[in-house]
């Protein structure tokens, strides 16, 4: 299949067509997939409800398009190359035929454990091919996967299991992360003490750590697939039947389950993958994300496999055994497209250039970044040192909710400007709105980034709470999807993402709500209340700064900090660790009791002289104390 744009001129033409007649445009792309029954309407939408449907009447299964469709031509082509954590261990390869067979076998194993279409399954696993297999096996039989990143705590997992009312967990005994091993089955066991919906657990043997297996509930993966058939028909799915739920943080409450569906997600992830990365026959593509995040769903598993590509999976971390690992792996597998996060680039920059220069990176053709704004310095380092100034850098802007990349360069077919994501993909209609919700049409402006027409992989709902989806994304500005980001548009119409304008913090490309972290901190027995803000962090982009009010004076601040960090570990996971914790006697509040975060942000950013108007504060005295105690 070839959906590829080959020049900037062609891009402009396609984008124009996609705006003047979206249905015809997307129909042309969707026709290239195999449908069990053709759709009769391309798109039907109402952003007020919201009610968005794509490819109505169509029956399809995404795995048939990611696997079966390729077999006549690609049965023996590598689908997944897996590189282990330990550089001296052997890597492995799964061809399209092998991947197909293993997906079918595991799908049959799921069925034999009573899983049927519509059931929710939690996947809590290391970066092994079996994770991709489990994802695809769920989709094969119409079960809904919800991957939970294996760095989340038992409590965080339990929340997700309960929200999804999941019937099964698929996990492993343990996982390898650099020099460490983590026993993750234990974490599942602990989570399940808080859940009643789970009927069975399948455990893949990875680290060979001893684990407890609960009789009648827990099964080994190898036993479950033993003797299962390599054929499993792909369940017929309506185009808008649920494919997966992925939990992500927002500015309020607990993480919400973003829902994507078979048809639209399939069309958009394949289309965007091929165009952004300009994947060519025989290339080896590597995205370093974890499948626990949307980047891994869309651009390790679905987008590449739908495109018949060879996709790499990496079990390890960028700094093990040393900070040259990414480049060593690029050399070893002759990687052609490399996709990573700015936070990883910034971390690796710190280790010096030799760790890059000693490897042969001449196979690289396209470099990508995702997840957070990239600063000039990191951009140039990546472009010069890694790409030797011959690889375009595609800065891809998108979100869990958008399912795929919305604003980005397309390989070397787009103008490039450091720190700018660039132009919208065909089919995407971004606008900048002002405070009042009025569209800003001039150039060289900043505003709230919204999208005014649906694209096939837009979220359909938030699981179990459609109203929350409406309020969060569709109520701020009438007839627009609100992204939560602020953006600038330059004189040539290129977009630069400035960052979140809501109470969402982006730590190393991972999203947390301030309220979510505050709730975690407040679970500590000594804490009365807390307020969390972001501050600029050299490597992570943003760090978490917490202002905490305790019961009485804190005598040993270091001990109290450790205890709070431990509580956050338990409630969310190590990835949400507050970098700075300042003990305060009170928080700056307005007379109506609202915390004035603007003030806390300025202190955290080290600009206490720029607090602005503080006259509406209930007790202006707390501010000077906060400034004095600033970290």
Residue from the set 5, 135, 294, 394 that interacts with ligand WT7 by CB under 6 A: 294
Q: Does 272 bind ligand WT7 (CB under 6 A)?
A: no
Under DSSP, is residue 60 helix (H, G, I), strand (E, B) or coil? strand
CB 597, min distance to ligand WT7, A: 17
Distance, CA of 568 to CA of 488 (rounded, Å): 35
* For ligand WT7, the closer CB: 204 or 420: 420
CB 311, min distance to ligand WT7, A: 16
HEC letters along 62-93: HHHHHCHHHHHHHCCCEEEEEECCCCCCCCEE
Contact at 8 Å (CB) between 120 and 146? yes
* For ligand WT7, the closer CB: 338 or 398: 398
Residue from the set 218, 235, 485, 503 that interacts with ligand WT7 by CB under 6 A: 485
* For ligand WT7, the closer CB: 343 or 506: 506
Which residues contact residue 578 at a Cβ distance below 8 angstroms, ignoring those fewer than 6 apart?
Answer: 517, 521, 532, 544, 545, 546, 564, 565, 568
Q: Site mask, ligand WT7, residues 218-257, x = CB under 6 A?
A: ------------------------------x---------
Helix count (H) and strand count (E) of the chain? Answer: 21, 29
Q: Does 174 bind ligand WT7 (CB under 6 A)?
A: no
Q: Site mask, ligand WT7, residues 409-438, x = CB under 6 A?
A: ------------x-----------------
Residue from the set 398, 455, 477, 482 that interacts with ligand WT7 by CB under 6 A: 398
How far separated are the first and last CA of the chain, in Å rounded? 55
Contact at 8 Å (CB) between 165 and 156? no
Under DSSP, is residue 327 helix (H, G, I), strand (E, B) or coil? helix
Q: Does 506 bind ligand WT7 (CB under 6 A)?
A: yes
Residue from the set 318, 368, 409, 509 that interacts with ligand WT7 by CB under 6 A: 509
Size of the site for ligand WT7 (CB under 6 A): 23
192 C-beta neighbours (distance < 10 Å), count:
20
HEC letters along 565-585: HHHHHHHCEHHHCCCEEEECC
* For ligand WT7, the closer CB: 67 or 428: 428
Q: Site mask, ligand WT7, residues 123-152, x = CB under 6 A?
A: ------------------------------
Q: What interhelical angle do 621-628 and 597-604 show, nearest 10?
A: 20
Contact at 8 Å (CB) between 443 and 495? no
Q: Does 500 bind ligand WT7 (CB under 6 A)?
A: yes
Q: Does 173 bind ligand WT7 (CB under 6 A)?
A: no
Q: Does 343 bind ligand WT7 (CB under 6 A)?
A: no
Contact at 8 Å (CB) between 595 and 617? no
Phi-psi region of 410 (alpha: psi -120 to 50; beta: other; left: phi over 0): beta
- The H-or-E segment that residue 481 falls in is strand 481-489
Q: Does 372 bind ligand WT7 (CB under 6 A)?
A: yes
* For ligand WT7, the closer CB: 241 or 395: 395
* For ligand WT7, the closer CB: 471 or 501: 501
Q: Does 172 bind ligand WT7 (CB under 6 A)?
A: no
CB 499, min distance to ligand WT7, A: 6
CB 411, min distance to ligand WT7, A: 16
CA 529 and chain centroid, separation: 30
Q: Does 370 bind ligand WT7 (CB under 6 A)?
A: yes
Cβ-closest residue to ligand WT7?
Answer: 400
- Positions in the binding site for ligand WT7 (CB under 6 A): 248, 294-295, 370-373, 395-400, 421, 483-485, 497, 499-500, 506, 509, 511
């Amino acid at each position: 299949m070839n959906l590829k744009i080959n020049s900037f001129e062609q891009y402009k033409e396609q984008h124009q067509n996609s705006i003047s007649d979206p249905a015809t445009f997307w129909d042309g792309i969707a026709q290239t997939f195999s449908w069990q029954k053709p759709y009769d309407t391309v798109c039907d939408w109402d952003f007020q409800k919201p009610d968005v449907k794509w490819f109505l009447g169509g029956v399809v299964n995404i795995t048939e398009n990611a696997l079966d469709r390729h077999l006549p031509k690609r049965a023996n082509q590598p689908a997944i190359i897996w590189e282990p954590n330990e550089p001296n261990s052997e890597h492995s390869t799964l061809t399209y035929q092998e991947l197909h067979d293993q997906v079918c076998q595991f799908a049959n194993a799921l069925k034999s454990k009573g899983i049927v279409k519509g059931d929710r399954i939690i996947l809590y696993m290391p970066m092994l091919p079996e994770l991709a297999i489990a994802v695809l096996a769920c989709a094969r039989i119409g079960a809904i996967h919800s991957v939970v990143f294996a760095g989340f705590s038992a409590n965080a997992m339990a929340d997700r299991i309960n929200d999804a009312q999941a019937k099964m967990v698929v996990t492993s005994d343990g996982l390898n992360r650099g020099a460490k091993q983590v026993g993750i089955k234990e974490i599942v066991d602990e989570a399940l003490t808080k859940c009643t919906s789970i009927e069975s657990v399948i455990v893949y043997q990875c680290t060979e750590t001893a684990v407890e297996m609960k009789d009648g509930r827990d099964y080994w993966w190898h036993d479950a697939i033993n003797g299962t058939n390599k054929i499993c028909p792909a369940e017929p799915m309506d185009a808008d039947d649920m494919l997966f739920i992925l939990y992500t943080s927002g500015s309020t409450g607990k993480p919400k389950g973003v829902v994507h569906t078979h048809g639209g997600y399939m069309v958009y992830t394949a289309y965007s993958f091929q165009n952004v990365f300009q994947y060519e026959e025989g290339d080896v593509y590597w995205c370093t994300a974890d499948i626990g995040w949307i980047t891994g769903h869309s651009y390790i598993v679905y987008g590449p496999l739908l495109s018949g590509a060879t996709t790499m999976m990496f079990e390890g971390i960028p700094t093990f055994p040393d900070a040259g690992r990414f480049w060593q792996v690029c050399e070893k597998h002759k990687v052609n497209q490399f996709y990573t996060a700015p936070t990883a680039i910034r971390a690796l920059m710190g280790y010096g250039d030799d760790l890059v220069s000693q490897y042969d990176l001449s196979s690289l053709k396209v470099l990508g970044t995702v997840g957070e704004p990239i600063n000039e310095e990191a951009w140039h380092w990546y472009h010069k040192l890694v790409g030797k100034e011959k690889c375009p850098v595609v800065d891809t802007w998108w979100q869990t909710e958008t399912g795929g990349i919305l604003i980005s360069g397309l390989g070397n077919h787009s103008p490039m400007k450091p720190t700018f994501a660039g132009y919208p993909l065909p089919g995407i209609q971004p606008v900048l709105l002002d405070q009042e919700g009025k569209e800003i049409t001039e150039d060289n402006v900043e505003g709230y980034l919204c999208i005014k027409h649906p694209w096939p992989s837009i979220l359909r709902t938030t699981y179990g709470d459609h109203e929350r989806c409406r309020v969060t994304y569709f109520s701020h500005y009438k007839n627009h999807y609100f992204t939560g980001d602020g953006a600038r548009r330059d004189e040539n119409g290129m977009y630069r993402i400035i960052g979140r304008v809501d109470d969402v913090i982006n730590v190393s490309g991972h999203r947390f709500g301030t309220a979510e972290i505050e709730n975690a901190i407040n679970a500590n027995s000594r804490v009365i209340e807390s307020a969390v803000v972001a501050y600029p962090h050299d490597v992570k982009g943003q760090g978490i700064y917490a202002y905490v009010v305790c019961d009485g004076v804190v005598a040993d601040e270091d001990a109290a900090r450790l205890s709070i960090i431990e509580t956050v570990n338990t409630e969310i996971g190590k990835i949400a660790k507050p970098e700075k914790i300042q003990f305060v006697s009170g928080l700056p509040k307005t007379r109506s009791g609202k915390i004035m975060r603007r003030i806390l942000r300025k202190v955290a950013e080290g600009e206490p002289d720029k607090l602005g108007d503080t006259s509406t504060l209930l007790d202006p005295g707390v501010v000077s104390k906060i400034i004095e105690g600033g970290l």
